[in-house]
Amino acid sequence: MQYKFSSLAQNLKASEIRELLKYKNIPGMISLGGGMPHPSSFPVSDIMEITDDLLKREGREILQYGTTEGYEMLRVELSKFLKDTENIDCTKDDIVLSAGSQQALYAISKIMVTPGEEVITESPTYIGTITAFLANGTVMRGVQMDEEGLITELLEEKIKNMLSKGKPPKFIYVIPTFQNPSGRTLSLERRKHLLEIASRYQIPIIEDNPYGELRYSGQKLPSLKSMDTSGLVTYMGTFSKILTPGLRVGFTVAPREVVSKMNLLKQATNLATNTLAEAIAGEYLKRGLVKKNMPRVVQMYREKRDTMLAALSENFGEDATWSHPDGGMFLWLQLDSRINTTKMLPRALENKVAYVSGYSFYPDNPEYNTMRLNFTYADNDQIVTAIERLSKVVGQEAMMAK
């Protein structure tokens, strides 16, 4: 049988990160590639206790089909948690639950963008967003970043340019805090400027904030959602980095009309999400366990970040620059412009170190001399060894490029 797929299915492509997972089990391989939390961050015994209590108390309810919006107690707890951590005012009715925030990213492009229409993202941006948007035929236009995040002057130029071509952006997607892949954080001035531009041109903002609770240094900055006075911002979060990604629980706080469309789409795609997982996440919040458990995780990741930064300074010369993230899971390495990190990857894998080449993170106009390094998964001594191996591979590549 010769299958003839839709044009949309032809847009789907395998992510380099998923491909890299194959190499994870090769003996001696150290992967700085994936975006995985450290397994010791998972509160296994808390989850066991909560699950046991929940099943005893309300097993017959939470094993039933749930409502489309998602488990009510979790949405109530989330509205308190978001007020407490991000100063976001919302009620349970402003929240939609999803199978990770990845599903919400897919849903938002599906409900806001007709295939062929355009949106703006940071450049580089999260690879999963690129995949989700492409799967819906959404065209992405990237705006460059610097150490303070998205360059908002360039954003305005980009909007004007798109308007002049009759292609108004349907929304602006940003990861303002500890961005994936760059680790950079949008400064307060730029947050204000971004909101001002979005308001002036009446373009919605999608704020994706999976890493906000993973701060290792510096001052907390207000979320865009908490600064928004006119219903411009849709905010997305997840339990993947504050509890476990295996539960697949994400959430979106949005203006009511957006919530309503997301729920209609959810009815079409999965009726309801995983009620048991949502009940566990709700109970975890209710018992104050995020506040109790995160300091240990933050301390562990801070050490890992510092280990990687020190190893980079030790092993890389002036030809390389890298970001100095105040939080999150990633750091962005930029090499001599003659080095192509995609072409170099097989040699890195031969030397038993994996990374994700920067190329995959560009919504358009890719650069080839960049890479994303994850510092949360490997152990501290592995991080040091991995950076030594990487610098050796880069050194050989630089010799060949001369």
Q: Indicate the residue among 66 and 245 with the shorter CB distance to ligand PLP.
A: 245
Quick count: other Cβ atoms within 10 Å of Cβ 139? 17
Sheet holding 370-374, edge to edge: 321-322, 330-334, 370-374, 356-357
Q: In whole angstroms, how close is the CB of 244 to ligand PLP at the nearest point? A: 10
Q: Which of 129, 118, 127, 130 is nearest to 158 (CA)?
A: 118
**Residue nearer to ligand PLP on the CB measure, 175 or 354:** 175
Q: Which is nearer to ligand PLP, 24 or 389 (CB)?
A: 24
Smallest separation (angstroms) from ligand PLP to the CB of 56: 28
Integer Cα distance of 133 and 145 in angstroms: 20
Amino acid at 179: Q
Tell me whether residue 152 or residue 238 sits nearer to ligand PLP (CB atom).
238
Min separation Cβ 116 and ligand PLP, Å? 24
Tokens of 78: 């989330």
- Provide, rounded to whole angstroms, the least separation between the CB of residue 175 and ligand PLP: 5
Shortest Å distance, C-beta 396 to ligand PLP = 31
Q: What is the dihedral of CA 52, 57, 63, 68, to 10 degrees?
A: -120
- Please report, as a single letter, which amino acid is at residue 180: N
- Select 209 or 391, whichever has its Cβ closest to ligand PLP: 209
CB of residue 398 to ligand PLP, shortest distance in Å:
30
Torsional class of 140: left (φ above 0), alpha (ψ -120 to 50), beta (otherwise): beta
Contact 205, 223 (CB under 8 A): no
270 half-sphere exposure, CB direction, 13 A CA radius: 14
Residue 41 or 102 with smaller CB distance to ligand PLP: 102
- Distance, C-alpha 387 to centroid of its chain: 23
For ligand PLP, give the closer residue by CB, 207 or 397.
207
CA quadruple 235, 231, 165, 191: dihedral sign: negative
Q: Which residues here bind ligand PLP, judged by CB under 6 A? A: 35, 100-102, 126, 128, 175, 180, 208, 210, 238, 240, 245, 250
Least Cβ distance, residue 182 to ligand PLP (angstroms): 11
- Nearest residue to ligand PLP by CB is 100
Question: H-helix or E-strand containing 162?
Answer: helix 152-164
